[in-house]
Amino acid sequence: MKLILSIAARYLFGKKSTNAIHIITWISIVGMSIGTAALILILSVFNGFESLLTGMLSNFNPDIKVTLIEGKYISVDSVKSEDIRHLDGIDHIAFTLEETSFFDYKGSQEVGIIKGVNDDFMKVTGLDTSLITGTSRFGKDIEYGVLGSGMNTKLSVNPSDGFTSVTAYMPSNENSGPLANPFNALQFYASGTFSVGSDVDMQYVLVNFDAVNALLNLENHFSAIEIKLKPGASEKKVVHALSKLLGQRFKISNRYQQDEGFLKIMNIEKWISYLIACLTLLIIAFNLVGSLWMIVLEKKKDIAILKSMGLTRAGIKTIFLALGLLISVIGLVVGFGLGLLLYWLQKEYGLISIPDGFMIDAYPIEIRWLDFVIVACTVLVIGCLASLLPSFRAGQVSAFVRQE
């Protein structure tokens, strides 16, 4: 094997009879390097967006969310909340109540989701870190609400206007006669605006838990239990303990399952982009096929001599497979270096910026070491496939120079 690698290296770095072969070979190496760097950067950019968005959503979504499998609301008193609080691994719990509602502010009207929360909700989530204006107040004497940035824009709410309230409407379930008001109304003042960078911003309005209960003609009911875990707690063990305590009527979702659809779409986009880049790398590999083929044609006499000395056809094929893989490995190493350099420049200096109006100034990027394994396997497989045809042709060269 050492002899085969030595011959392959000699064919790569040794002097060629035609300078064009040397140029085409190094063009192949450059092409593989650029392709490798592109694959690494594509995965890193998607990793950056995924981490950014999931990190922002984690400020709104809890570690574990318990919802009803059937039905909408259930009484807080029917759940053993103290038993939940004392389960190993649970830090805080919060009961929340949400429903689709109609909002009005100075003639601007929108449909969104009103969510009843209390101070426990702020302990369960990190929403305070996602506030872009105001504070998170949920008063009892005077009702306050925190609006998603998208909902705030759609309603054109002026946060400095302390005299005009936002009104939420819900159909009334009470039949008090034909002259009764068919809607319940809740008036509240905007105390702040939050942004977590997703559809949540466009839909949600957070108001006091008791006020939403009253709006829905309920008393101390909830639609979800939101749970924060202690640092280092086993999510799997907590989920198992909750399912054992609460029974079959509740669905228990971890952080990934709460945003499963969103994360799956991001994953699909990520790997489709990766496959498109792989197709580009396959096109680049045709250059590698051409350079190897020209080396085979140039080294016919060498191949004939090696065969005459006893090297088998399989050995000849292995030499040119090794040559193709050697070119791929050099391109891979240079591509990794180029990718890491561009990653550092983007991370430190934000080479590629994002237009104004977004939450960040430059494209986010994140290196995951598993991506290097995936890219290395991809490049080496493509290099091996590109080497098959030239190596097969090399194996067909006769051991007799004159006959060839």
Q: Across residues 333-354, what is the average pLDDT?
A: 88
pLDDT reported for residue 15:
66
Q: Across residues 348-375, what is the average pLDDT?
A: 80
In the predicted model, is pLDDT for residue 139 greater than 90? no
Q: What is the Cα Rg of the chain in Å?
A: 32
Enumerate the domain spans of the chain.
Answer: 2-57+262-395, 64-255
Residues of the chain above pLDDT 70, percent: 90
Q: Across residues 357-380, what is the average pLDDT?
A: 84
In the predicted model, is pLDDT for residue 358 greater than 70? no
Q: Across residues 211-233, what is the average pLDDT?
A: 90
Task: Give residue for tokens 């830090």.
Answer: 91
In the predicted model, is pLDDT for residue 180 greater than 70? no
Contact present, 165 and 188 (Cβ < 8 Å)? yes
Q: Across residues 80-101, what is the average pLDDT?
A: 90
CA distances from 295 to 17, 33, 281, 388, 395 (A): 10, 21, 21, 14, 13
**Phi, psi for 184 (deg, rounded to 5):** -90, 145
- Amino acid identity, residue 246? L
Q: Give residue 14's pLDDT band: very low, low, confident or very high (50, 70, 90).
A: low
pLDDT reported for residue 359:
61
Q: Across residues 45-61, what is the average pLDDT?
A: 80
Q: What is the largest CA-CA distance in the chain?
A: 110
End-to-end CA separation in angstroms for the chain: 27
pLDDT reported for residue 135:
82
Residues of the chain above pLDDT 90, percent: 26
Q: Across residues 247-254, what is the average pLDDT?
A: 87
In the predicted model, is pLDDT for residue 404 greater than 50? no
Distance CA 43, CA 46 (A): 5
Q: Give residue 403's pLDDT band: very low, low, confident or very high (50, 70, 90).
A: very low
pTM of the model: 0.71
Contact present, 124 and 73 (Cβ < 8 Å)? no
- What is the three-class DSSP state of 222? strand
Distance CA 121, CA 225 (A): 10
Residues facing residue 65 across a β-bridge: 226, 253
- What is the three-class DSSP state of 226? strand
- Amino acid identity, residue 347? K
Q: How many residues does the chain have?
A: 404
Secondary structure E strands in 78-202: 90-105, 108-117, 131-134, 144-148, 166-171, 183-194
More confident residue, 94 or 354: 94
pLDDT reported for residue 138:
77
Distance CA 146, CA 207 (A): 7
Mean per-residue pLDDT of the chain: 84
Residue 52: Cβ within 10 Å count = 17
In the predicted model, is pLDDT for residue 301 greater than 70? yes
Contact present, 385 and 292 (Cβ < 8 Å)? no
Q: Across residues 207-229, what is the average pLDDT?
A: 90
Lowest mean pLDDT among 83-92, 96-105, 169-178, 286-295: 169-178
Q: List, for residues 55-88, the tens digit of each pLDDT value.
A: 777 778 888 999 988 888 888 888 888 888 888 9
Task: Give residue for tokens 């038993």.
Answer: 83
Question: Which residue intervals of 313-368 are DSSP H helices?
Answer: 313-349
